[in-house]
Homo-oligomer: A and B are copies of this chain.
Amino acid sequence: MSVEVSRLSNGFAVATDRMDHVETVAIGVWVGIGARHESPELNGVSHMLEHMAFKGTARRSAEDIVNQVESVGGQINAYTSRENTAYYLRVLAGDVGLAVDILADILQNSTFEAEELERERAVILQEIGQCTDTPDDLVFDQFQETAYPDQAIGRSILGTSDNVRALDRAALDGYMERCYGADRMVLAASGKVDHAAILRLAEDYFGAMVAPGVAEPEAATYRGGHHAEQRELEQLHLVLGFDGLAYEDPDFYTMSVLSSVLGGGMSSRLFQEVRERRGLVYSIYTFNTAYQDGGLFGLYAGTGKEEVGELMPVVMDQLSTIGDTVSSEEIARVKAQLKAGLLMAMENTSARAERLGQHLLIFGRPIPVEEIVERIDAVDAAAIGRLANRVFGGAPTLAALGPVGPVDRLAGWTNAAE
């Protein structure tokens, strides 16, 4: 077994996945804190904190941080999601010590200097502008907000421009102190790594962190509904979805198979029916997002204003019939796709570190590939049928951005197949 896990006495987890025959290491800290832990006033603070972590510590200027990483040919990056924030590097094996030093420094000693904060505020406002200009990004934010109205989990990760303008150093300091506890963190590394050495580094660099205990976020309450934004675009960008499944749901892998049969590849039903047989889109695909206490199943389609009237009934029909019609050939094909995808991801250091960090945060343990394969193999047509009824019987969420036309068309589209 290539995976080893340890825990420091403060709850900080250390997980490694050794790959022989590679010369590099992917390593990062995954933090179980994200946009859904924010109050309305603090919306955007997780993401701003992620940005500010690169802007200087007691020992390093912002420029020192990137110079030290890039001088050894390393790469450093970070992301913020609804439930997690991750800070990670890819380096040559000999530079793992530097990587841990920098991760520990930016996570414990960031200074959030006033001048840096003003500049980074401006950068984030540009990032919000870029998202607003990218319809197939923006429509996903509108979808999320419509699925979970008036809840942290429904708000944008970047926050509103007004919030970004208002957040100050005290807000960042307070949020970091409250939320970035040792027991919410995983140092995960994959590639040419030695577990004992990484563990020693973790003890030295993260052993003194405290674990303040974070209040659980408000439960995710899916509501659904319609959101339309008229904009002069070539395409009408649509996201249609339903209340989905949490990570721990026994049907989690049934959902993966169902999602793939519908829209997981070029042989999927939606790709075949909507693009290949009807030519109504260039892009159509499903997604399956899980949270600790809920999830979203959905699909994206980019179509024309002339085509949408044909597309929506076809899509609704695919959703309402799949439960009764999924074939053993389709199930077998999707299982092969999911299992080969797992194997392919195993050849990539970054994908393995990412999975390890996520599994430790979500399940408190690494999930062996064999266990995932077993659960995929156990999915059958009856389970898919039951799940399709459960999911597609619920209230839909539809977000549409582009040449939408009258808003009441939206409700008409999602009612068409009921």
Q: Do A126 and B280 contact each other (CB < 8 Å), given the known contacts A67-B267, A266-B66? A: yes
User: Which residue of B has the minimal Cβ distance to A77?
Assistant: B266
Residues on B with C-beta less than 8 A from A91 are 340
Residue A230 interfacial (CB < 8 Å): no
* Inter-subunit contact A282/B73 (CB<8 Å): no
Residue A32 interfacial (CB < 8 Å): no
User: Which residue of B has the minimal Cβ distance to A266?
Assistant: B66
* Inter-subunit contact A92/B280 (CB<8 Å): no
* Inter-subunit contact B347/A22 (CB<8 Å): yes
Residues on B with C-beta less than 8 A from A237 are 133
Could you tell me the distance between the alpha carbons of A279 and B234 in the complex, rounded to whole angstroms?
A: 32
* Inter-subunit contact B133/A70 (CB<8 Å): no
Distance (whole angstroms) from the CB of A148 to the closest CB of chain B: 25
Instruction: Please indicate which of the listed interface residues A266, A275, A302, A339 has the most CB atoms of chain B within 10 Å of its own CB.
Output: A266
Residues of A121-165 at the interface with B, using a CB-CB cut-off of 8 Å, are 121-130, 132-136
Residue A407 interfacial (CB < 8 Å): no
Could you tell me the distance between the alpha carbons of A281 and B76 in the complex, rounded to whole angstroms?
A: 19
Instruction: Please indicate which of the listed interface residues A72, A121, A122, A344 has the most CB atoms of chain B within 10 Å of its own CB.
Output: A344
Residue A217 interfacial (CB < 8 Å): no
Q: Do A234 and B130 contact each other (CB < 8 Å), given the known contacts A121-B279, A279-B119? A: yes
Q: Do A276 and B119 contact each other (CB < 8 Å), given the known contacts A66-B265, A73-B340? A: yes
Residues on B with C-beta less than 8 A from A267 are 63, 66-67, 69-71
Could you tell me the distance between the alpha carbons of A187 and B19 in the complex, rounded to whole angstroms?
A: 29
Distance (whole angstroms) from the CB of A75 to the closest CB of chain B: 8
Q: Do A126 and B282 contact each other (CB < 8 Å), given the known contacts A233-B133, A339-B73? A: yes
* Inter-subunit contact A73/B126 (CB<8 Å): no
The 8 Å CB contact of A21, one of B21, B120, B337, is B21
Could you tell me the distance between the alpha carbons of A283 and B128 in the complex, rounded to whole angstroms?
A: 11
Residues of A76-133 at the interface with B, using a CB-CB cut-off of 8 Å, are 76, 90-92, 118-130, 132-133
Residue A24 interfacial (CB < 8 Å): yes
11 sampled A-B residue pairs with Cβ under 8 A = A70-B266, A70-B337, A71-B329, A73-B341, A119-B279, A123-B282, A126-B283, A130-B136, A130-B282, A130-B283, A132-B233
User: What 3 A-B pairs come out closest when comparing CB atoms?
Assistant: A73-B340, A122-B279, A129-B234
Interface residues of A (CB under 8 A from B): 20-24, 54, 62-63, 66-67, 69-76, 90-92, 118-130, 132-136, 233-235, 237, 265-267, 272, 275-283, 302-304, 307, 329, 332-333, 336-341, 343-344, 347-349, 402
